[in-house]
A and B are shown apart, each in its own frame.
Chain A
Amino acid sequence: MISYLDNVLFAAALILSISLFIYNFKKILSNIRLGRDENRSDNPRLRLNNMLRVAFGQSKMIRRPIAGILHLIVYVGFIIINIELLEIIIDGIFGSHRIFSSFFPKFYNFIIGSFEVLALLVLISVIIFWIRRNILKIKRFFKEEMKGWPKLDADLILYFEIILMTLFLTMNGADYTIQLNYPENDIYVRAGSYPISQFLVPILQELSLAKLILLERFSWWFHILGIFIFLNYLYYSKHLHILLAFPNTYFANLESKGKFKNIDSVTSEIKLMLDDNNNIEGTDVSEVETFGANDVTELTWIQLLNAYSCTECGRCTSNCPANISGKKLSPRKIMMDTRDRLTELSNKIRSNSENFKGDGKKLLGDYISTEEVWACTSCNACVESCPIDIDPLSIIMSMRQYLVLENSAAPSDLNNMMNNIENNGAPWPFNQQDRTNWIN
């Protein structure tokens, strides 16, 4: 018999894990709001479409077919197997056992059967993922920025999945063994089909009924507790992308990748300068904000959402010409640094509340070096290759703007080039009057 203690413990674990998750998720949302405004409310239909295609349909993952298909299996498996979660939660609260089986027995058999097949496929895929990371040592997983926590994080997720799937199949196997061998018991009644875990029956039937029940309960509990832990692990992990990939693709840039945003305040300032009458409509010069970005708070909320969504897959970096040619710049590192700095800064703001006056650190300089910022060719390869429409290039450009407009700190060659443009209208020291010399 399942005592009430179980139900209470279960309800407590459920409430605890969900509240903790909400608490942390709210933190993420408020951290993203530390960024500057950017309007991405246009074109809801197109945005929805983009989200369905890129995040839900994983359209950009197929470009690397092997990783793409394996990821698709894990992703579909994750979504479908989580339907089972509903039953587990109801059973947990009410002390029932496989509550859905009595309502629609036929469909139940089908669905449990497909969960099992998927669980096996997920298990295999995750093991292949582990082999790719730890035995084949695929290059993009071993760049400088992947040392330490990011590497451990990636492996932990795989171990998590392996444990969860194993527990799920063990739970079913034990259940099925009891169903077959102890038909007279009134809890483990005949329900479900077990195309995969049936192969565990020959091993498991050596165990006594008490041990089988213990094994089934153990697996059931650790499976669901594992999921609760996983839910709260997301906050610390690149695995946050399973949630944020959706808003991230919804709010993605839908315009040509070559179009870089114009800074409106610069336009107003120039117009004011050029216009003697100073009668520019709707400009408020009193509100001068920093040009470009020196720290995360000067990035837009889109750029911060990007940082939280990054899966650290390194597709951007492995296509980046600067990185391929051995330079320090890695667009993945740009995203990881942005997230790390945002976490650090927001924690400090929270613990110091109102009187926080900065910690003397900045994203630019303490995390991202100017050497990285100047190595970019603005080729958009990173943006194109990101499976969830992250834009590392825009962060690089915001930092260049800060360096040039606030600090006049461009490399000297570029300063010469810009002086030429200012004086002659061309990047070389040629006279504008000679612009038609080619005709003759």
Chain B
Amino acid sequence: MKVQIFSDCVKEGKNPEILFWVGCSGSFDERAKKITKAFVKILNDAKIDFAVLGNEESCSGDLAKRSGNEFLFQMQALGNIKVMNSYNIKKIVTACPHCFNTIKNEYPELGGKYEVLHHTEFLKSLIENGKLKIPNGSFKGKRITYHDPCYLGRANNIYEIPREILKKLDAELVEMKSCKSKGLCCGAGGAQMFKEPEKGDVDIKDIRIKQALETKPDIIAAACPFCNTMLSDGLKNKVSENSTSILDISQIIEKAKDL
């Protein structure tokens, strides 16, 4: 797999147009790594000039900030900004809505001003300018339901772009009971992913997966590595419905194009 590292590029006198921000889960989590690879395959297929920060990338700080640790958040942010500014980075794409939100909204006041895109926004622009073609048919007739990640939807008002991409697949897009601005959280946000839930009746992810399964989908489309993990865990508890799979939008495109 061809992936350039920014520091190498700079040594060779190259200045890649786009920084692909991989994020912690995209780098380390088994499921999320698949999303990362799928997205890289698409980027390479579309001949995009991009690079990653590699070992110079550090946690964006979203988790620290939502946990209330403003100090750690700003340490992380300022560190990352220092690296990115040293490479004179202009445009960032990431598959993680949490990194996307933090870098886009919370970095500028700390000195990090970039054009920040979520990978669904970037994929849509690739489709529009003809660099990414999705062949018709491979998902024909499949029922797909899309789960809105909180940090993409309500946090940043991106509801339609992921749906527009899915519509290109010739599939049948079905909506859950709570969708778009009313979408139900998967339960991971606000650092919940890293702690035991407080006492309650059910797990949030189980409510959400139930809503998703009510649409009788072949595929549950996600656009966030954390949602992906949460929903997959929720699905595991429902053994009978194992024909449904949970895929990130980039993985769906990867499959459609057979990359």
Residues of A within 8 A of B (CB): 63, 255-260, 262-263, 266-267, 269-271, 274, 291-292, 319, 321-322, 324-329, 371, 374-381, 383-385, 397, 399-405, 410-411, 413-414, 416-418, 421-422, 425-428, 430, 432-440
Contact = CB atoms under 8 A, between A and B. Distances in A.
Contact of A377 (B3, B54, B156, B204): B204
Nearest to A259: B105
Interface in B26-83: 26-28, 33, 36-37, 52, 54-55, 57-59, 61, 63-72, 74-76, 78
Contacts of A404: 67-69
A321 B185 contact: yes
Contact of A379 (B61, B104, B189): B189
Interface of B: 1, 3, 5, 22, 24, 26-28, 33, 36-37, 52, 54-55, 57-59, 61, 63-72, 74-76, 78, 101, 104-106, 109-110, 150-151, 154-157, 181-182, 184-185, 187-192, 194-204, 207
Contacts of A260: 65-66, 106
Contacts of A325: 187, 197, 200-204, 207
A426 B192 contact: no
Contacts of A383: 154
B70 A266 contact: yes
A432 B71 contact: no
A324 B204 contact: yes
A401 B68 CA distance: 4
A256 B157 contact: yes
A437 B57 CA distance: 13
Contacts, number: 207
B154 A371 contact: no
A328 B63 contact: no
B190 A376 contact: yes
A384 B154 contact: yes
A53 to B, nearest CB: 15
Given A266-B70, A327-B199, A432 B63 contact: no
A440 B104 CA distance: 29
B59 A421 contact: yes
Given A256-B157, A327-B200, A427-B63, A266 B71 contact: yes
A439 B58 contact: no
Given A325-B200, A397-B66, A427 B71 contact: no
Contacts of A263: 70, 74
A70 to B, nearest CB: 21
Contacts of B59: 421, 425-427
Contacts of A267: 74, 110
Q: Which of B57, B65, B110, B191 is packed against the most chain A CB atoms within 10 Å?
A: B191
26 contacts: A258-B151, A267-B110, A270-B71, A270-B75, A321-B187, A322-B198, A325-B187, A326-B200, A326-B202, A374-B195, A377-B185, A377-B187, A379-B154, A380-B155, A381-B154, A400-B66, A400-B68, A401-B70, A405-B71, A413-B194, A417-B194, A425-B24, A426-B24, A436-B55, A438-B26, A438-B37
A414 B71 CA distance: 15
Contacts of A259: 101, 105-106
A329 B105 contact: no
B198 to A, nearest CB: 4
Contacts of A291: 70
Given A256-B155, A379-B150, A380-B150, A418 B64 contact: yes
A378 B189 contact: yes
Contact of A262 (B69, B74, B199): B74
Contacts of A292: 68
Given A325-B202, A413-B196, A439-B1, A256 B105 contact: yes
Contacts of B156: 256-258
Contact of A411 (B69, B110, B195): B195
Contact of B106 (A262, A371, A384): A262
B65 A374 contact: no
Contacts of A63: 182
